[in-house]
Amino acid sequence: MKLLRILPIIIFCFCITTISAQQKQYTVNGQTYTLTTEVEGPLTLLWTTVNGEYRYFIKKGEAITELKNTKTNRDYQEEYKESLKVLTIDSPMTVDKVKLTRTSLLNFVNEYNKKVDSNFTPKEKGGKLKTRLGAFVGYSNTAYFVNPDNTFLPTFGIDFELIELENLKRHSVVAQFEQTIGNSDYDFNKSEFSLNYRFKFVKSSTIDIYANVKFASYVYVSRDVLVVGEGNDDDELLKGSGGDLRAPGAFGIGADIALGKGFLTLNYIDIFALGIEQGDEFPINLAVGYKINL
């Protein structure tokens, strides 16, 4: 049980040590970007996100070219294709079917690099796995536990989100740790580590709105319960603690709003849950936070 309680800390430390492993700063047309290396060779494919939008760059020698696809009168200009023609003029490549996506550009760069360098080892194809780390604060009436006076308690926690941005960009899996802190009115403390699935039914470069399903969790609770005596019996304060594994099927909603280099997060956690008893009050568990791309 102790391992389950410290597991969120282990995940957090792992995330911090893996941030920006392949990132480096480059200056392109007078502007500095922190770019991630996708594949390195005679042509090096680099990328970053700016305000939630992906931007791709090609490095050849010391020169870096941004691949652009501007829109004019509802038509995309596909300037990146002409850029690719120029970059591969020493060993011409067909660019007609190249798309401005990670997989298509990776295929193109791999093919060119193999063509001009027999020792080049291509990077394996696959989805673009992305991780995000966030922290949040909020308040909750802990409606799925005994809360006689419907007391609202402060909460805080962390999210670790895994996303595949090429083929499953509307879906993600989230490991979440949430801590509820008791006060003088209601001495109730809860630590919860959960696994969640999110479906982003609204997705754009500036905002994602999603439904969240909590499909498994471990909850550890400590609380003091006052038992009111009957007749001449004195009131009795009972102290208790314990943990439990759950598969609650709890549902919530949330939004990620592009802000700065990350996202402002808004969440209504566990609006209702299947198979878990709740008190007389409607569940309220609201949180606001911020997350960054790792």
pLDDT tens-digit series, residues 31-74? 888 888 888 999 999 998 887 688 999 999 989 999 999 988 87
Q: For 278, which DSSP code?
A: -
Q: Verify that 56 and 197 share a domain, yes or no.
A: no
Per-residue pLDDT of 189-244, as tens digits, reads 999 999 999 999 988 778 899 999 998 899 998 876 665 556 555 555 556 677 88
- Cβ atoms 37, 22 nearer than 8 A: yes
The count of other CB atoms within 10 Å of the CB of residue 148 is 10
Q: Is the pLDDT of residue 165 over 80?
A: no
Read off φ and ψ for residue 138, nearest 5 degrees: -175, -155
Helices (H), 123-282: none
**248 domain residue, yes or no:** yes
Q: Which helix (H) or strand (E) holds 116?
A: helix 102-116
Q: Verify that 145 and 278 share a domain, yes or no.
A: yes
Tokens of 9: 């800390």
Tokens of 45: 């494919």
Count of domains observed in the chain = 2
How far is residue 140's CA from residue 178's CA, in Å, rounded to a whole number?
11
Predicted pLDDT of residue 2 = 44
Per-residue pLDDT of 94-150, as tens digits, reads 999 999 988 899 999 999 999 999 888 886 655 567 899 999 999 998 888 878 788
Domain coverage including residue 95: 21-116
Q: Which residues are 129's β-sheet partners? A: 164
Q: Verify that 160 and 188 share a domain, yes or no.
A: yes
Q: Residue range 147-155: average pLDDT?
A: 88
Q: Verify that 78 and 160 share a domain, yes or no.
A: no
**6 domain residue, yes or no:** no
Residue scoring higher pLDDT (265 or 25): 265
With pLDDT > 90 as the criterion, what percentage of the chain qualifies?
A: 46
Predicted pLDDT of residue 230 = 60
Q: How far is CA 193 from CA 3, 161, 227, 247, 293, in A?
A: 11, 14, 30, 12, 21
* pTM (2 d.p.): 0.57
